[in-house]
């Protein structure tokens, strides 16, 4: 899949330039192949671990509530915590990346995920459970932001391929955690603590390649003459870059938020919509699984297609059309065409990998990608917080799904418009 002989292993010059009088030695072909494979494995394993902390808990939420004597209101807050943590902690990623390097921060993020998932099952109170969850979510938040940065830094000529690879891995991790947590828990005797704790083992595996890369970078810096001085002398991000002045950044951040809103609403409420329409509970769960599984192959295809286009607007429109058709089907005939609506909404939810790809394309430099990724994802996740709650309120007060589905379809319109704006062939450096 990858041409290992041409993939750059050292950061691009616009990301980590070195003084002209002390060039870094070129790695040998064998070292190049080894590092390329290690980076690919690291990206895949990190992506796999960016959602199981959330979806595994959702599968066992009732058991956790009973075990910790958690009230319904607290459980409701718990379901909103991920988006809030992604927004709050994601803002810190650029500063941490400038201070320690993106690879080191991703490594620390994997350690935080492991620690949070390991501690969480052994807590005996709601406050401690929330704190352990927040620790894992903090690691996810900074890794979310820095995944596009890692791709841009080490694979500048393969942004679409690598974004597709880790987006597909993220989707697969999400689906597997949602589907396998309950059966694994049953196989372990029904203990929700063991069922949740098993995912700490998966997260621990993801630490290994990033730790190896970190050790390699430290040794390389120590043995390269003037290596430390090169890092100190590397020019800081241009102070003239003010991300909030970029229309493209705002369009991309809002597009990210609206697509996240639609995804969270779909994952949280679609089974209930089908059940209220007369679809059996087991079938409703399978329909949600179909929607989620659609993201696995398309998350690899769409980024590759997007990088071959100067303007990603047509993809945005196509995904939006699928979403509008799916919502129209849910409104008019939810049970009769249930499988078709599930497929169409699954396709529409693939706006997520498209948004990640555009983050890497709408900035020319490494510092620009860091800032844009943090801005777009933090802004987007903040926007996404009230959506699922608002749908629940409308459903409760109206007694049906007509108003909530109308809201979902209505949100798709600005998502398409802003996605078209964000997909224009320009960079934030030109605007900010």
Question: What are 124-176's pLDDT values in tens digits?
Answer: 988 999 999 999 999 999 999 999 889 888 888 888 889 889 888 988 888 88
Compute CA distances 67 → 56, 61, 121, whole Å.
16, 10, 10
Tell me the average pLDDT of the chain.
Answer: 84
Q: Average pLDDT of 344-353?
A: 93
pLDDT grade for 40, boundaries at 50, 70 and 90: very high
Torsion of CA 13, 14, 16, 21, to 10 degrees: 50
- At residue 97, does pLDDT exceed 80? yes
pLDDT: is 283 or 337 the higher one? 337
Q: Average pLDDT of 184-206?
A: 92
Q: Average pLDDT of 199-226?
A: 83
Task: Provide the pLDDT for residue 177.
Answer: 86
CB 58 within 8 A of CB 177: no
pLDDT grade for 98, boundaries at 50, 70 and 90: confident
Using a pLDDT cut of 70, give the percent of the chain over it.
86
How many C-alpha atoms does 131 have within 13 Å on its Cβ side? 8
Q: What is the 3-state secondary structure (H, E, C) of the chain?
A: CCCCCCCCCCCCCCCCCCCCCCCCCCCCHHHHHHHHHHHHHHHHHHHHCCCHHHHHHHHCHHHHHHHHCCCHHHHHHHHHHHHHHHHHHHCCHHHHHHHHCHHHHHHHHHHHHHHHHHHHHHCCCHHHHHHHHHHHHHHHHHHHHHHHHHHHHHCCCCHHHHHHHHHHHHHHHHHHHHHHHHHHHHHCCCCHHHHHHHHHHHHHHHHHHHHHHHHHHHHHHHHCCCHHHHHHHCCCCCCCCCHHHCHHHHHHHHHHHHHHHHHHHHHHHHHHHHHHCCCCHHHHHHHHHHHHHCHHHHHHHHHHHHHCCCCCHHHHHHHHHHHHHHHHHHHHCCCCCHHHHHHHHHHHCCHHHHHHHHHHHCCCCHHHHHHHHHHHHHHHHHHHCHHHHHHHHHHHHHCCCHHHHHHHHHHHHHHHHHHHHHCCCCCHHHHC
End-to-end CA distance of the chain: 36
pLDDT grade for 411, boundaries at 50, 70 and 90: very high
Longest dimension (CA), the chain: 73
Q: What gap in Å lies between CA 248 and CA 73, rounded to an integer?
A: 38
pLDDT grade for 20, boundaries at 50, 70 and 90: very low
Nearest to 432 by CA among 356, 358, 365: 365
Task: Provide the pLDDT for residue 227.
Answer: 46
CB 308 within 8 A of CB 160: yes
pLDDT in tens, 233-270: 444 444 456 888 899 999 999 999 999 999 888 877 88
Compute CA distances 39 → 22, 91, 102, 213, 367, whole Å.
26, 24, 13, 8, 20
Task: Provide the pLDDT for residue 289.
Answer: 80
Nearest to 47 by CA among 134, 113, 2: 113
Q: What gap in Å lies between CA 392 and CA 398, rounded to an integer?
A: 10
Q: Average pLDDT of 14-24?
A: 38
Task: Provide the pLDDT for residue 84.
Answer: 85
Q: Average pLDDT of 52-59?
A: 84
Q: Which of left, alpha, beta for 235 (phi over 0: left; psi -120 to 50: alpha)?
A: beta
Place of tokens 């030109």: 430
Torsion of CA 341, 347, 349, 354, to 10 degrees: -160
Task: Provide the pLDDT for residue 28.
Answer: 52
Q: Average pLDDT of 202-219?
A: 90
Task: Provide the pLDDT for residue 12.
Answer: 43
Q: What gap in Å lies between CA 418 and CA 253, rounded to an integer?
A: 9
pLDDT in tens, 297-340: 898 899 999 999 999 999 999 999 999 999 999 999 999 999 99
pLDDT in tens, 59-87: 787 788 889 988 766 776 676 788 888 88
Q: How many CB atoms lie under 10 A from the CB of residue 269?
A: 19
pLDDT grade for 2, boundaries at 50, 70 and 90: very low
Task: Provide the pLDDT for residue 354.
Answer: 95
Task: Provide the pLDDT for residue 328.
Answer: 96
Task: Provide the pLDDT for residue 223.
Answer: 62
22: CB partners within 8 A, 6+ apart: 225, 226, 229, 230
Task: Provide the pLDDT for residue 5.
Answer: 36
- At residue 3, does pLDDT exceed 50? no
- At residue 21, does pLDDT exceed 90? no
- At residue 118, does pLDDT exceed 60? yes
Task: Provide the pLDDT for residue 240.
Answer: 53
């Amino acid at each position: 899949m990858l041409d290992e002989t041409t993939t750059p292993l050292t950061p691009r010059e616009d990301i980590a330039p070195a003084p002209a009088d002390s060039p870094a030695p070129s790695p040998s072909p064998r070292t190049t192949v080894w590092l390329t494979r290690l980076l690919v494995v690291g990206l895949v394993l990190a992506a796999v671990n960016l959602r199981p902390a959330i979806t595994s808990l959702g599968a066992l939420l009732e058991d956790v509530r009973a075990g910790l004597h958690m009230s319904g209101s607290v459980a409701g807050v718990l379901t909103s915590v991920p988006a809030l943590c992604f927004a709050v902690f994601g803002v810190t990623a650029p500063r941490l990346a400038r201070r320690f390097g993106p690879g080191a921060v991703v490594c620390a993020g994997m350690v935080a995920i492991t620690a949070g998932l390991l501690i969480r099952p052994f807590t005996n109170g709601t406050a401690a459970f929330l704190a352990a969850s927040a620790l894992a979510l903090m690691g996810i938040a900074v890794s979310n932001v820095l995944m596009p940065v890692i791709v841009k830094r080490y694979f500048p000529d393969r942004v679409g391929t690598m974004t597709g690879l880790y987006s597909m891995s993220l989707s697969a991790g999400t689906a597997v955690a949602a589907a396998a947590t309950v059966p694994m828990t049953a196989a372990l005797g029904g203990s929700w603590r063991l069922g949740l704790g098993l995912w700490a083992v998966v997260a621990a595996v993801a630490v290994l390649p990033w730790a190896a890369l970190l050790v390699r970078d430290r040794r390389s810096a120590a043995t390269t003459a003037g290596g430390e001085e090169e890092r100190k002398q590397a020019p800081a991000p241009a102070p003239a870059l003010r991300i909030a002045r970029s229309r493209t950044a705002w369009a991309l951040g809002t597009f990210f938020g609206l697509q996240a809103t639609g995804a969270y609403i779909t994952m949280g409420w679609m089974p209930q919509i089908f059940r209220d329409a007369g679809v059996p509970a087991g079938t409703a769960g399978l329909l949600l699984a179909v929607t989620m599984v659609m993201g696995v192959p398309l998350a690899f295809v769409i980024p590759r297609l997007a990088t071959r286009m100067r303007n990603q607007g047509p993809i945005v429109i196509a995904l939006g059309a699928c979403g509008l058709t799916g919502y129209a089907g849910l409104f008019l005939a939810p049970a009769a065409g249930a499988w078709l609506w599930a497929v169409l909404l699954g396709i529409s939810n693939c706006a997520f990998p498209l948004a990640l790809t555009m983050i890497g394309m709408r900035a020319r430099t490494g510092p620009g990608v860091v800032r844009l990724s943090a801005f777009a994802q933090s802004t987007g996740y903040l926007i996404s917080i009230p959506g699922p709650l608002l749908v629940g309120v409308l459903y409760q007060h109206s007694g049906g799904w007509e108003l909530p589905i109308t809201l979902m379809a209505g949100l798709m319109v600005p998502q398409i418009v802003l996605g078209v704006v964000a997909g224009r062939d320009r960079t934030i450096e030109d605007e900010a």
